[in-house]
Amino acid sequence: MYTSSTRIQCALNGDYRSSDHPNVPVTLEQLVADAVACRGRGARSVHLHPRRPGDGAIHRVPVEVIFEHNDAAAVELARPIDARVAVLERPRLWHGDARANWAVVDAGLAVGVDVRVGLEDTLIGRDGGPAPGNVAQVAETAPRMT
């Protein structure tokens, strides 16, 4: 169940480029504009990967678990992981990968944990078509919190 402390984080870009999706922000100006717009639609934080000018590589050490792409299986994997880390008494952030991201996000909202949406996690929309941009993903997710 959603609690008043549940938050949405928007993952703005990941390893993707504008050639992968027209709304992937890459430049500083695009990242700032997208972050501000996502905040205006309900995101409480953003996750992004800055790049050096002219450099397509991401200079970071990712620590991610890439889940199952089947909706039900992805949610069933998220639950025991959440149970194991809940003992740390820290906020937890649920997100999936590709189309299954939406099932994981919805299940996370249902149990009252923070969730993450954005083009880094999925280029596939809830309807199976191309995902909307970051701002639209936050706007679609925010009403589901109530």
Q: What CATH number is given to the structural domain containing 87?
A: 3.20.20.70
At 62, the pLDDT band (50, 70, 90 cuts) reads very low
Residue 22 lies in a domain: yes
Dump the DSSP string for 51-116: --TT--S--S-----PPPSSHHHHHHHHHHHHHHHHTT-S--EE--SGGGHHHHHHHHHHHT-EEE
- Does 1 reside within a domain? no
Domain that holds residue 40: 8-145
Give the pTM.
Answer: 0.71
Each residue's pLDDT tens digit, 67-120: 678 999 999 988 988 888 777 767 788 899 999 999 999 999 998 888 899 999
Cβ atoms 109, 145 nearer than 8 A: yes
Query: How many domains are there within the chain?
Result: 1
